[in-house]
Amino acid sequence: MGSEADNHGWAVHKFGGTSVADADCFRRVSALLHSQESPRLAVVVSAMGGMTNALLELIGQAERSNSAIGAGIDAIRQRYSSTVDELISSATDRAPLLEAFERELGETSDILNAIALVRSAAQRSRDVVAGYGELWSTRLLAAYLTQEAGDDPGKRAVSWIDARKVLVVEPGELGPAVLWERSTALADEHFPATDKCIVVITGFIASDADGLQTTLGRNGSDYSASIMGALLNASDITIWTDVGGVMSADPNRVSEAAVIEQLTYNEAMELAYFGAKVIHPQTMSPAVERGIPIFIKNTFEPGAPGSKVSAIASNGHAIKGITTVENVALVNLEGTGMIGVPGTADRLFGALRSANISVILISQASSEHSICFAVPGRMADEVETVVRRAFAMELDQNQIQRVEIRRDCSIIAVVGDGMAGMPGIASRFLGTLGNAGINVRAIAQGSSERNISAVIDGDAATRALRAAHAGFYLSTETVSLGLIGPGNVGSTLLAQMATQVARLKDTFNLDFRVRGIATSSRMVLADKSIDLQNWGSELEANGEPLDWDRFNAHVNAEHLPHAAIVDCTASNEVSDRYADWFTQGMHVVTANKKAQSGSLDYYDELLRTRRSNNTHFLYETSVGAGLPIIQTLRDLKETGDDILAIEGIFSGTLAYLFNVFDGSTPFSSIVREARDSGYTEPDPRDDLSGMDVARKLIILARELGLRLELDDIEIESLVPKELHASSIDEFLGELSNYDDAMLNRYKKARDSNEVLRYVGSLNKDGKATVRLESLPAEHSFAHINLTDNIVRFVSGRYSDNPLVVQGPGAGPAVTAAGVFADLLRLARYLGAPG
């Protein structure tokens, strides 16, 4: 901060209520001021934090009755006098402070009693009572600064100014407007001419043209500071508060919000207008006209750089910040009679203006068929009356059909100078809100293109704020995950994620948080994320009986923008819940085939609920594990290729059995060995029946748009009918009775230079078979590695030479990696960079 002589050496510092909340705060402020370089400091101070609220609350009480006023007055006396006692050591210095305080507290009581008598407070009484807090805090600060300066000749002389003696304002369209000439003359008169000084000034209060007390509105001390900056032609204005600066979003609601180092007056003004309480919207104009930079800094961390607000644009993010205005009502005026009738909007807003109702946002359909605008929620009733009165005739004659008021809404606004002329911001904004399942009721774009604002339901505001904040990469894209089935695939996925989460955060701004893990009977939930390295012990130590309602509610936390379920089971019980999860707005990523290959009714319901809730359903690993089979099929289809047929070996187990079977060892022995080595399901009939292959074929068929059920597939089961009901051991024993038949098929194939392969095929007409086929030795299915899957797509483009996808089609590592890839795909759909 400079201290140039041509600026007369004045620097303005403003301390908000949070910076002077208690004795420690005063000590901090004093140390901070005494260490400033500028020779002349004008220090504008708010009331002690919460004091203005307490005073206004007393007015409210007086309007209701006067019974509780005494207690409120006592609490204020107790708070102030104990702070004085703590800070000011000499009784002689304390006396005048406490005397003035008692006198003004007495006046406050008198005013409150008068209000209690008539049960209604005039604006002027309100202004007077609300303004005492600034008088008390500034007198105390001035006394304390004087005490701390002591006799040190190096320290600046301290004085105190009551802003009502200097600052004269009159009511204006946009709030109080300064009478500059009068105020400048008064400032010349009251500010000391000494070279080195600290002048403490009351924030918030001022006089009107008649010399009576008024205020600059709630949070008005910021405005006081910039007016003082202008009156004194200060080199800079520093607003000291309890956060690090103007932040990319309200830090109470978005924990990842970051300090914006540099922003323009316009950006700061838009952010303030749309609810960033850290700075008052009117603060800007006096500073802008004189080009005085405004710094926002943290009293509790004075060394940090803070934010600089000036005319200079920074070349960082196009979007600087995102804010919300709470508790607004959306009014919609609709009528065919408005089309082409000039002046409807003028009349509407004229009527609102005469009733002193400020409109926060307007959005007019270009058809002129409706006008939609937002007003502060507390004014909703009044607005309805005003509008109905203004258009009584049109309503009567049905030219205006509807005046609709939607309460409990919020406005969310994205702000940044860099948005102007940059295409795609609005669609990105609305897309992010859509992805987070947030319904937009109205949108408006400032003609400056410096902000886009959307009206949404009030209870979605925090979620919207976080989603948009992440959507513009101001913070990470957070996805809350609930993993079900930490078995082979699930636990491998957790291990893979453990090694990648940090990198994903750094490189892609992507924050996957596994906030719930469920087994078939137990679950563990974590607020931030379950420790992926130690999830097993967390499940053991903090696990509880599985409760789906709690699991869902926890994973789908209101404060996180996105939530997804990861199903690593093979269970119907889990897949039956997908529709429910979609309805709750959660995405589903699954390695489980059951839902996609189950009844068409349920499948249709899934697609319907998925779509209507704007959620995603990803299941690449349900066919061919990590191999890109479903994605390949979709790419072909979406680019307009005509898929004629799909065929393949879709079972690693069956691929293995027939790769190994060469007639030398009986087929039943190969099955037994494969089971012993873990290549088959515990009951090998699950593989040999062909049902698993049929399910995969169904999934592919439905991707193609064929409406097939399992019954429509011709399946050749390799489990003899007689052995369906026997135990596993009996089955393995008795299978040898069928070895000869299998050997005969093998020999027959070999004699025609062919091999046996268990193949699933599907054509575009819906014919689907799963069976043991004899294929020429040069067929691509004849030469695959032991447990590989292989799939051939025959299409219009790939006709003579089909497209083949081949590779390991089973195993925890590749399946888990496939699920992980689906999760990353989901994140990209949700807006993460990729």
| Active site members | 696
Q: Are 479 and 511 in contact (CB under 8 A)?
A: yes
User: What is the smallest separation between the CB atom of 54 and ligand ASP, expressed in angstroms?
Assistant: 10
The residue within the footprint of Mg ion, chosen from 9, 16, 377, 561 (CB under 5 A), is 16
Rounded CA gap, 712 and 694, in Å?
Answer: 10
Rounded CA gap, 470 and 256, in Å?
Answer: 9
Rounded CA gap, 219 and 278, in Å?
Answer: 9
Question: Which residue has the CB atom at the shortest distance from ligand ADP?
Answer: 16
Does 30 help bind ligand ADP (rule: CB under 6 A)?
no
Rounded CA gap, 370 and 452, in Å?
Answer: 20
Given the complex with ligand ADP, which of 250 and 687 has the nearer CB atom? 250
User: What is the smallest separation between the CB atom of 126 and ligand ASP, expressed in angstroms?
Assistant: 12
> Among Mg ion, ligand ADP, ligand ASP, none, what does residue 735 contact (CB within 5–8 Å per kind)?
none
Question: Per-residue contact track with ligand ADP, 265 to 304, x per CB under 6 A?
Answer: ------x----xxx--------------------------
Nearest CA-CA partner of 647 in 529, 803, 540, 491 = 803
- Which residues ranging from 186 to 205 are in contact with ligand ASP (CB under 6 A)? 203-204
Rounded CA gap, 104 and 97, in Å?
Answer: 11
User: What is the smallest separation between the CB atom of 136 and ligand ASP, expressed in angstroms?
Assistant: 11
The residue within the footprint of ligand ASP, chosen from 7, 30, 38, 52 (CB under 6 A), is 52
Q: Which part of the chain contacts ligand ASP (CB under 6 A), choosing from 44-52, 168-176, 410-418, 419-427?
A: 44-52
Q: Which part of the chain contacts Mg ion (CB under 5 A), choosing from 9-17, 108-116, 484-492, 655-663?
A: 9-17
Half-sphere exposure of 60 (CA within 13 A, CB side): 7
Helix axes 23-34, 69-87, angle to 10 degrees: 40
- Which residues ranging from 165 to 184 are in contact with ligand ADP (CB under 6 A)? none
Q: Which part of the chain contacts ligand ADP (CB under 6 A), choosing from 188-196, 236-244, 615-623, 709-717?
A: 236-244
Does 47 help bind ligand ASP (rule: CB under 6 A)?
yes
Instruction: Report which DSSP code applies to 447.
Output: T
Does 283 help bind Mg ion (rule: CB under 5 A)?
no
Question: Per-residue contact track with ligand ASP, 8 to 27, x per CB under 6 A?
Answer: --------xx----------
Reading the block at residue 237, the tokens are 């204005």
User: What is the smallest separation between the CB atom of 415 and ligand ASP, expressed in angstroms?
Assistant: 22
> 10 Å Cβ neighbour count for 739?
15
What are the backbone dihedrals phi and psi of residue 630, each rounded to the nearest 5 degrees, phi first?
-65, -40
C-alpha distances out from residue 504 to 477, 481, 555, Å: 10, 15, 20
Measure CA of the first residue to CA of the last residue in the chain; give whole Å: 41
Given the complex with ligand ADP, which of 295 and 758 has the nearer CB atom? 295
Nearest CA-CA partner of 187 in 207, 163, 210 = 163
- Which residues ranging from 214 to 233 are in contact with ligand ADP (CB under 6 A)? 219
User: What is the smallest separation between the CB atom of 78 and Mg ion, expressed in angstroms?
Assistant: 25
The residue within the footprint of ligand ASP, chosen from 46, 324, 609, 651 (CB under 6 A), is 46
Question: Positive or negative CA dihedral for 375, 381, 384, 390?
Answer: negative
What are the backbone dihedrals phi and psi of residue 571, each rounded to the nearest 5 degrees, phi first?
-100, 140
User: What is the smallest separation between the CB atom of 268 and ligand ADP, expressed in angstroms?
Assistant: 10
The residue within the footprint of ligand ADP, chosen from 63, 104, 148, 242 (CB under 6 A), is 242
Element (H, E) at 41: strand 40-45
Question: Which residue has the CB atom at the shortest distance from ligand ASP?
Answer: 221
DSSP 421-475: T-TTHHHHHHHHHHHTT--EEEEEE-TTSSEEEEEEEGGGHHHHHHHHHHHTTSS
Given the complex with ligand ASP, which of 17 and 471 has the nearer CB atom? 17
> Among Mg ion, ligand ADP, ligand ASP, none, what does residue 475 contact (CB within 5–8 Å per kind)?
none
User: What is the smallest separation between the CB atom of 215 and ligand ADP, expressed in angstroms?
Assistant: 14
Q: Which part of the chain contacts ligand ADP (CB under 6 A), choosing from 10-18, 156-164, 287-295, 731-739?
A: 10-18
**478: which strand partners?**
511
The residue within the footprint of Mg ion, chosen from 52, 219, 509, 668 (CB under 5 A), is 219
Contact partners, residue 697, CB within 8 Å, separation at least 6: 650, 713, 760, 761, 762, 768, 770
Does 133 help bind ligand ASP (rule: CB under 6 A)?
yes
- Which residues ranging from 213 to 232 are in contact with ligand ASP (CB under 6 A)? 218-221
* 212 φ/ψ sector (left φ>0, alpha ψ -120 to 50, else beta): beta
Reading the block at residue 404, the tokens are 């609709």
Does 490 help bind Mg ion (rule: CB under 5 A)?
no
Q: Are 114 and 125 in contact (CB under 8 A)?
A: yes
User: What is the smallest separation between the CB atom of 826 and ligand ASP, expressed in angstroms?
Assistant: 45
Reading the block at residue 723, the tokens are 């052995």
Q: Are 690 and 770 in contact (CB under 8 A)?
A: yes
List of residues contacting Mg ion (CB under 5 A): 16, 219
Question: Residue numbers of the site for ligand ADP (CB under 6 A)?
Answer: 16-19, 46, 219, 241-243, 246-247, 249-252, 271, 276-278, 321, 323
